[in-house]
Structure 1
Amino acid sequence: MDFGRLGVWCSTDRLDAAGLRALLKRVEGKGYGTLWYPESRGHESVALAGFLLANSTKLVIGSSIANIYARDAFTARRALATMNALHGGRFALGLGVSHIPMVEGLRGHHYDKPIPAMRAYLDGMAKGGGAALEGPVLLAALGPKMLALAAARSDGAVPYNVTPDHTKQAAEILGPGKVLAVEQKVCIEPDKARARALGRKELARYMTLPNYVNNWLRLGFSEAELADGGNDRFIDAMVISGDAEAVKTGLRAHFAAGATHVCIQPVTEDGDTGHRDAMLAALADT
């Protein structure tokens, strides 16, 4: 499956049908290869994939990520097969263990240890049919153990909230022939204080989640740098900002570090689709 050099990551829960169609038109029209979407508190992942595939023509549609606690492994495999059979082989299944509040607090499940839980899920998918899966499966891998599992048992990884240093480490662990589709938040905004304020607002939801915090500490950020919404060095690393050329330079650093695909997440004021679309237009030739 050809993901293209660049993709777009969008928090689709904020969009209704008309908004989703407008996003698809913009992303596909600007030549991006893949549209990635999460599974949080709104749209259900597989149903949304069907809508996105039905309303696009060339885009690869990728879940980033589908929560393994939301459907059993057999169902996930059948979803992968169904989407690709009905929509011309354009669906990639990104899987993740999610976070304790989303699993225990929201869904009422027990949150198991991430590596054994994902390994068991992949085992379950393997039992659901022949040896070869019906499309690419990628793991939301941050730490070295999950990246090693992605290398051994999947087509690659979809890291989120990471830096080029992490991309370099991930590429080394995954090895050749694997997809490394890295999400990167961007904000084309010459006013650095405004860009950082938008970044802090966007990142606030992640700052209390241990999976991300632990990975940031592994990457060399200190607890002090993560306190009170994150200091400037941390925010600048998570959200590349400045003019279009500065942002492009930051995106290219991921490719230099070994990414095979970078998915851009525009950071804007809530509902500012004009700023979002202007950024997608400006960065499409990165």
Structure 2
Amino acid sequence: MDIGRVGIWSIALDTQPLSAAQDAVAELDELGFGALWIPEATGKEIMSHAALLLAASRRMVVATGIANLWARDATAMVNAQRTLTEGFPDRFLLGIGVSHTPAIAHRGHHGHQMASPLQVTRDYLTAMDAAPYYGAPPATGLHRILAALGPKMLRLAAELTGGTHTYTVPVEHTEFSRRHLGEGPLLIPEQKVVLVTDPGDARRIARANVSRVIRLPNYANNLRRHGFTDDDLAGQGSDRLIDALVAWGTLDDIHRRVKDHLDAGADHVALQVLTADPTTLPRREWGELAALIH
């Protein structure tokens, strides 16, 4: 599987009619991005969505960032992975994660009670490996990675998967992750970007995304681990926090941040473009970012 050095992370595809999303994915494929990352929250069901987007492209890998393990049992997850891998050899990368307590326990969501996230994840991955399958086997191997932030989950990712996908992290976390993963496993951070040069406008766009994410304990605790304080996390986030989590400015500014992650041990950086209107696809910005591929 070749995902290249730079990919695109997009939740905006969830909000689009399928025809528009598939047209955009075909364009990303032509631009040369190595992978497209899609999330699972309260939008489209991620495994069927991945299949539809894979069908719209010729070369690009579609990766889940991440598929919520509470949304389907281990057998359903791995057999969906096997089905997609058979249909699109070496083009489906399964990212799995345990999600967040507020999301999984909320009435109207999955309604589960979180036990030990680490043990739940270990048991789930083990059950995936033991799941029976009577369909035609895929011609290529299965590829999976784990959403991880803390040291124990990072080590589990290295033990039982091919690596990790990290989200809303500074470059310092990429270096930290590589130390705990060791050499070999994939390390794939998501990096938010705003192609706006005015500091006030850029940070305002950034805060509309970041302020929601840092309310979740997993992310807040991880940022504290890397030197950010409660003052940084208060309100919509300090300028210091925003600038660490969101690369904004010119294409050269974005390139420097991508290089920083790669130099810190990342194998691939998934770029999430933030704009003033998150309901529209940032196709112009995607076109500009394609210059970073080569």
The answer to whether the superposition gives a TM-score over 0.5 is: yes
Residue 272 of structure 1: how far off its partner (Å)? 6.5
CA distance in 1, matches of 2:220, 2:212: 11
TM-score normalised by structure 1 residue count: 0.95
AA in 1 matched with 2:112? H
Partner residue in 2 for 1:171: 178
Partner residue in 2 for 1:108: 111
Q: Decide which moves more: 276-285 or 220-229.
A: 276-285
Q: Does the Cα contact within 8 Å between 1:4 and 1:33 map onto a contact in 2?
A: yes
CA distance in 2, matches of 1:83, 1:269: 34
Say whether residues 1:212 and 2:215 are aligned partners: no
TM-score normalised by structure 2 residue count: 0.93
Partner residue in 2 for 1:229: 236
Residue 243 of structure 1: how far off its partner (Å)? 1.1
What does 1:9-24 align with in structure 2 at a 5 Å threshold? 9-11=9-11, 12-24=13-25
CA distance in 1, matches of 2:54, 2:279: 24
- Specify which of 269, 275, 278 is matched with residue 268 of structure 1: 275
CA distance in 2, matches of 1:22, 1:191: 31
Distance 1:45 1:272, change over 3 A: closer
AA in 1 matched with 2:78? R
Q: Does the Cα contact within 8 Å between 1:80 and 1:134 map onto a contact in 2?
A: no
What does 1:157-196 align with in structure 2 at a 5 Å threshold? 157-196=164-203
Residue 143 of structure 1: how far off its partner (Å)? 0.5
Distance 1:230 1:34, change over 3 A: same
Residue 101 of structure 1: how far off its partner (Å)? 2.2
Partner residue in 2 for 1:121: 124
CA distance in 2, matches of 1:112, 1:56: 39
Residue 14 of structure 1: how far off its partner (Å)? 1.9
CA distance in 1, matches of 2:105, 2:83: 29
Distance 1:185 1:85, change over 3 A: same
Question: Which stretches in structure 2 are left out of the alignment for 5+ residues?
Answer: none
Say whether residues 1:282 and 2:283 are aligned partners: no
Partner residue in 2 for 1:77: 78
* Alpha-carbon displacement from aligned partner over 1:130-158 (angstroms, at most 9, x marks no partner): 9x994111000101110000011100000
| Segments of 4+ moved more than 4 angstroms | 271-274
Partner residue in 2 for 1:242: 249
* Alpha-carbon displacement from aligned partner over 1:159-187 (angstroms, at most 9, x marks no partner): 00011111011112112221111100001
Partner residue in 2 for 1:62: 63
Residue 208 of structure 1: how far off its partner (Å)? 1.5
* Alpha-carbon displacement from aligned partner over 1:43-66 (angstroms, at most 9, x marks no partner): 011111111111111110000000
Q: Decide which moves more: 118-127 or 276-285.
A: 276-285
Secondary structure, counterpart of 2:248 in structure 1: strand
AA in 1 matched with 2:68? N
CA distance in 2, matches of 1:89, 1:34: 12
CA distance in 1, matches of 2:230, 2:102: 21
AA in 2 matched with 1:201? A
Secondary structure, counterpart of 2:235 in structure 1: helix
* Alpha-carbon displacement from aligned partner over 1:16-47 (angstroms, at most 9, x marks no partner): 21231132023112110000000000101111
Secondary structure, counterpart of 1:93 in structure 2: strand
Residue 122 of structure 1: how far off its partner (Å)? 0.6
Identity among equivalent pairs (%): 38
Q: Does the Cα contact within 8 Å between 2:194 and 2:275 map onto a contact in 1?
A: yes
Q: How many pairs were matched up?
A: 284
Q: Does the Cα contact within 8 Å between 1:13 and 1:40 map onto a contact in 2?
A: no
AA in 2 matched with 1:118? T
Q: Decide which moves more: 62-71 or 132-141.
A: 132-141
CA distance in 2, matches of 1:203, 1:13: 19
CA distance in 1, matches of 2:243, 2:20: 29
Q: Decide which moves more: 137-146 or 110-119.
A: 110-119
Residue 244 of structure 1: how far off its partner (Å)? 1.0
Q: Does the Cα contact within 8 Å between 1:13 and 1:41 map onto a contact in 2?
A: no
CA distance in 2, matches of 1:232, 1:64: 27
Q: Give RMSD over aligned pairs.
A: 1.6
Secondary structure, counterpart of 1:284 in structure 2: helix
